[in-house]
Structures are given as C-alpha cells and as structure tokens.
Amino acid sequence: MEIRNLNVATAFTTKDGSTIRELLGLPTSTSVRNQSLAEATLVGSQATQRHYHRLSEEIYFVLDGGGLMEVDGEEREVGPGDAVLIPPGAWHMLRAGADGARLLCMCAPPYTHDDTYFE
C-alpha cells in the first residue's frame, strides 16, 4: 500500500504557471504507472497559460475558490465541488477568481512537463 500525505509533498511550478504539489505520479511514486494526482493552486486573478496535452486526459476538481475555466473555446464559471473533464488535445486554461483557486488535478497517463504544449 502506498500513502502520501499532501503536507509532505514539495510544491513546484508547472509549465502552465500553476503551483502544484503532486501526491502520486511519476516523479513521486515508484508504483504509479497509469495516472497522477496533484493539488494545484492559483492566487487571486492568476491564470494558467493556455495549453494542451497530447496524451493525458485530465480532470480538475475544484476544492476552494474557483474562476473561469476554458476548454476548447467554451468558457464556464467553476467553483467548489465542480469537476471538469479536459480531453487529450483540448486547449484549456483556468483564470482564478479574486479569492484564488485550489483544485485536484488527475491525469491519465500521468502528468509530465513534456506532454504540455503551448500556442
């Protein structure tokens, strides 16, 4: 059994500009093969850089705060309790509201910097 607590996860900045603490994924686990789970945070009004992943399907689950989510040109307000599906190849970005945003990011296959592409 592998258990990793969020409080011991080291924060780093992803290529899109968000700060994440990876719970389980390729760099943090020797057992994970097909998915990753991380907490991402954005400060008030911060936005990720618009990007896509060729391989990874992502799900964002908003824990606190929220903002404006864009997936392939469609924009919607998101807040606590909302889950957003981001298919592989879909351009996406999140602009946090005034209070910022904290969310879980699930990726399958696992997140890697090399699978992040920009305009």
Quick: pLDDT tens for 1-45.
999 999 999 999 988 888 999 999 988 888 899 999 999 999 999
Q: Would 67 be classed as within a structural domain?
A: yes
The pLDDT assigned to 107 comes to: 97
Domain containing 29 equals 11-118
Strand segments (E) across 1-119: 11-13, 19-24, 36-42, 51-52, 57-71, 74-78, 83-86, 92-108, 117-118
Q: Would 49 be classed as within a structural domain?
A: yes
Count up the domains in the chain and report the number: 1
Evaluate if pTM is beyond 0.85. Answer: yes
CATH of the domain at 48: 2.60.120.10
Chain-centre distance of CA 117, in angstroms?
Answer: 14
d(CA 3, CA 20): 18
Q: Would 3 be classed as within a structural domain?
A: no
